[in-house]
Amino acid sequence: MKLQALTSLRFFFAFMVFLCHLTYFRDSGIPMIENLLEKYLRYGYLGVNFFFMLSGFVMAFTYASAIAEQQFSKKEFLIKRAIRIVPLHYFTLLLITPVVVKSVLEDGGFTAHHTFQFLVKFGAHLTLTQSFIPAIPYYFSFNNPAWSISAEMFFYLMFPAIVAFIFRKGLIRSYGFYLFLLGVALVLMTAIRNFYDPQWLFYINPFIRILDFMMGIFLFFFYSIIRHSNRMNPSRASILQIISLIVPVVFFMGIENVFKAYSNSLYFYIPMALLIFSFAFSEGSLAKLISVRPLIFLGEASYSFYLTQDITARYMNWNGTRHEIIREWFAGNYLAYAAVQLVIALLVAIIVHLYVEEPLTKWLKTKYEKRQTVRSA
């Protein structure tokens, strides 16, 4: 069974991440545009919550039964996940490197200090460890959104142990332990407010963000129980999907009164979990509505869109600051510039998806499978 509606949703949340990066709206001098960013667009980072949670759900959906039947190879799993996410990450790392080199040259050149920093940052991206470094110049270096790929790889390393723990302890006890971990995270977020980099501690930190991934795993088990009980008919699924679209709106209405550490992650657990859970039932009317080929394709290309959209924006500013370009080429129209940026970002993402991501992934997967066939022969 394919999770086509969830694939389509991937694009919508990648688009939300794109919107939250339109921070230049803040300097537009136009109250309507500034309010658009401050009240709505800047919360697009919740797309990361969705992706982490969805990843846990899909991994459990794909591999949980194999783990239960002890037909699961950790090595094969990790190799396949690396084949899926690492090649595109490396490709985008190469794409952004000229921009970073230009920035270093404009900042005084490759002095010993700058060279050391450049090599450490580049090495962190090569090893996908940048999200573990609690400093903005490192986890937001080179291709900034790639910090989440670093965290994702850590989740994959932990995935077999998490699912094995659930099977060993049982779903109820395991979920109780998970709620305990959530409670600890909540206490930490409340108590530690003066950490020198709270953004890293509560938003970037893989040891905190793995809670998103784990929630996705538990969602799958609850989904599996409901699915096999035959309690979810098309009408119920449709009602649940409508509710799942209303709940995030309700949460948004109160977000300005929420402590930032909560809103960065835990605050959106309920609406994101409800969306994933409800749209996993493909028989619902809204799930059918978005399970059309164009949206599915955009969902499939969402990884390329996610990793290339910031690169596109930075290349657009190669010959000047963003505000200079908007003033000179768009007559100060920030919305027009954003629209052009979106069109270019989508075109780049589709090209990269079709001619880099898919062929490279397919080639590496085929090569790995042939090697496994030769070894087993």
Helix (H, G, I), strand (E, B) or coil at 30: coil
Nearest one of 369, 208, 276 to 53, comparing CA atoms: 276
Task: Give residue 84's pLDDT.
Answer: 93
Q: Which amino acid is at 155?
A: F
For residue 223, give Cα distances in angstroms to 171, 234, 339, 370.
12, 15, 38, 35
Question: What is the rounded average pLDDT of the residues 323-352?
Answer: 88
Q: Are 344 and 318 in contact (CB under 8 A)?
A: no
Site of tokens 């010959």: 319
Q: Distance between CA atoms of 358 and 365, rounded to whole angstroms?
A: 10
First to last CA, the chain: 31
Structure letter (DSSP) for residue 107:
T
Torsional class of 30: left (φ above 0), alpha (ψ -120 to 50), beta (otherwise) = beta
The mean pLDDT of the chain is 88
For 328-353, give the DSSP string: HHSTT-HHHHHHHHHHHHHHHHHHHI
Stretch (H or E) spanning 9: helix 4-20
- Whether residue 291 has pLDDT greater than 70: yes
Residue length of the chain: 377
For residue 119, give Cα distances in angstroms to 110, 150, 192, 302, 330.
11, 17, 32, 29, 37
Q: Distance between CA atoms of 183 and 177, rounded to whole angstroms?
A: 10
Residue 312: CB atoms within 10 A of its CB come to: 19
- Whether residue 243 has pLDDT greater than 80: yes
Higher pLDDT pick, 211 / 328: 211
Task: Give residue 113's pLDDT.
Answer: 86
376 pLDDT tier (thresholds 50, 70, 90): low
Q: Distance between CA atoms of 178 and 218, rounded to whole angstroms?
A: 9
Q: Where are the domains of the chain?
A: 4-293
Report which listed range, 52-56, 63-67, 324-328, 329-333, is most confident. Answer: 52-56
Q: Are 77 and 156 in contact (CB under 8 A)?
A: yes
Q: Which long-range contacts (CB under 8 A, 24 or more apart) does 177-180 make?
A: 178/211, 178/214, 178/215, 178/218
Q: Are 221 and 214 in contact (CB under 8 A)?
A: no
CA 49 to chain centre: 7
pLDDT digits (tens, 9 = 90+) for 98-125: 999 998 888 888 888 889 999 999 999 9
